[in-house]
Amino acid sequence: MYTATVHKPVVKPLKRELVITHVFKAPREQVWKAWTNPGIMIRWWGPKSYTSPAFKIDLRVGGTYVGCMRTPQGKDIWSTGTYRKIVPQERLVFTDSFADEHGNAVPASYYGMTGNWPPELLVTVIFEEQGDGTRMTLRHAGIPTDRLRELTEVGWKESFHKLARVLG
């Protein structure tokens, strides 16, 4: 007897990754420091109308960061993550999670965020020399929906415009 088996095609979900490239008119070492020095991070972290009152960095594989963005209305939004890979002046790979003011990971709903946010996202930042400047590519993986990805993209791009001003 012959039996036929119908196989349903395996459909893998699209990788929910945001990719942004920005070229800075600054040496790679300076752009690297802007990502690894908390005193510089607080000057550019967050969208254009946000400030960053606090940032702590333990820059080592397994080390963490804890940072705060303050909205124009005065609401603090904290984030934390763990550094997974560090290649000085070339690559940073770290996790990214919403956090409370003590650096404990919290769900996105803690801040009233909607959508099916995973508890942890992954950020990769690549630094490449480009002439007398630096080409920086950011990959932010795990953002749940197109609308939230759009909002996140706007936030990152506004942050990078602030970073460009900080770098001079």
Q: Does the residue 9 lie in any domain?
A: no
| Whole-Å CA distances, 97 to 14, 62, 124 | 21, 15, 14
Q: What is the mean pLDDT of residues 58-67?
A: 98
Q: Does the residue 7 lie in any domain?
A: no
Is the CB of residue 43 less than 8 Å from the CB of residue 166? yes
Q: Does the residue 8 lie in any domain?
A: no
Total number of domains constituting the chain: 1
Q: In terms of residue numbers, what domain contains 128? A: 17-167
Q: Does the residue 65 lie in any domain?
A: yes
How confident is the model at residue 14, as a pLDDT? 40
Q: Does the residue 4 lie in any domain?
A: no
Q: Does the residue 10 lie in any domain?
A: no
Residues 102-152: tens digit of each pLDDT: 999 999 999 998 878 899 999 999 999 999 999 999 999 998 887 788 889
How confident is the model at residue 2, as a pLDDT? 34
Largest CA distance in the chain: 77
How confident is the model at residue 114, as a pLDDT? 83
Q: Does the residue 155 lie in any domain?
A: yes
Helices (H), 18-124: 28-36, 38-44
Residue 67, domain CATH: 3.30.530.20
Question: Residue 3: pLDDT above 80?
Answer: no
Q: Does the residue 71 lie in any domain?
A: yes
The predicted model scores a pTM of 0.88
> Exposure of 124 by Cβ count < 10 A (0-12 exposed, 13-18 middle, 19+ buried)?
middle
How confident is the model at residue 115, as a pLDDT? 79
